[in-house]
Structure 1
Amino acid sequence: MSKEVNVVVGVIIRNDEILIAKRSAKQHQGGLWEFPGGKVESGEGEVEALARELNEELGIEINPEACQKRQQIHHQYPDKAVNLNIYWVNDFSGTEQGKEGQPLKWVAKEQLADYPFPEANQPILDELLSKN
């Protein structure tokens, strides 16, 4: 069994739209859409890692106090295990841009089903698309 990768994920919400990014073809699950985030480094807290990753990938600064942990998802792919720590991000500054060349899109919740996501993201999509 492969080692589990510890990841933070930001569900970035603005005016009832969600920011999604397309994974590079070279990445694991490449070509699929995702909620931005990345690996938690050794000695780093989850929110600290989320702030660093979103700044590196998107050029935005988040308000750590406004981040709300919503889910923790463990998923085993055939070649990799992931532990996703999911945070809702409602307060950020800066203009988002794909700093690693990745396409970005703001989409309405109802449109999320139109985009292919990695299998591990299904619980996030389920929560976003639920009527609760």
Structure 2
Amino acid sequence: MTKVIINVAVGVIKKNNNVFICKRADEQHQGGLWEFPGGKVEAGESVFQALKRELLEEVGLTIHSSSELITIEHDYGDKCVRLNVHVVSNFNGQAHGAEGQPSEWVGIDELDNYDFPAANVEIISAIKTKYN
């Protein structure tokens, strides 16, 4: 049986040398871990459209543009994801956990101090390579 790959738009929201991260709810897949906000790309949606919708819902930001950072496919065993990761630095609003989730701005060099899902290791590496 072929596993379904879930297409996910991920936003690395960047301001100066900081990025915005959120903590996943304990009951979610990979719950209790930190993540870069985003969500599933719906049928007929571009990655940017999904990012725009998800970041407004999740962190209260209106984004104006993004640039592709990396695309990662990861098999967690119970599900496969394709993470379409974009850097977002052109936005309006104050980033916050709009769904009540813990969230914070973190220095790029501090990302290793947080527990992320396995697929995020490559994202963090790409961020450090590009911005450090």
Indicate the TM-score class for this superposition, using the shorter chain for normalisation.
Answer: over 0.9
Relative to structure 2, which stretch is displaced further, 1-10 or 40-49?
A: 1-10
1:96 matched residue in structure 2: 95
Question: Would you say the 8 A contact 1:2–1:79 is kept in 2?
Answer: no
Question: Would you say the 8 A contact 1:74–1:84 is kept in 2?
Answer: yes
Relative to structure 2, which stretch is displaced further, 97-106 or 122-131?
A: 122-131
2:62 matched residue in structure 1: 61
TM-score normalised over the length of structure 2: 0.94
Give ranges in structure 1 of 5+ residues lacking alignment. Answer: none
1:5 is aligned with what amino acid? I
RMSD: 1.2
Quote the Cα distance in structure 2 between the aligned partners of 1:77 and 1:50: 22
Question: Would you say the 8 A contact 2:96–2:104 is kept in 1?
Answer: no
Quote the Cα distance in structure 2 between the aligned partners of 1:10 and 1:46: 10
Quote the Cα distance in structure 2 between the aligned partners of 1:25 and 1:101: 13
1:74 matched residue in structure 2: 73
- Map 1:1-132 to 2 at 5 A: 1-64=2-65, 67-130=66-129
Question: Would you say the 8 A contact 1:4–1:81 is kept in 2?
Answer: yes
1:51 is aligned with what amino acid? K
Question: Would you say the 8 A contact 1:97–1:104 is kept in 2?
Answer: yes
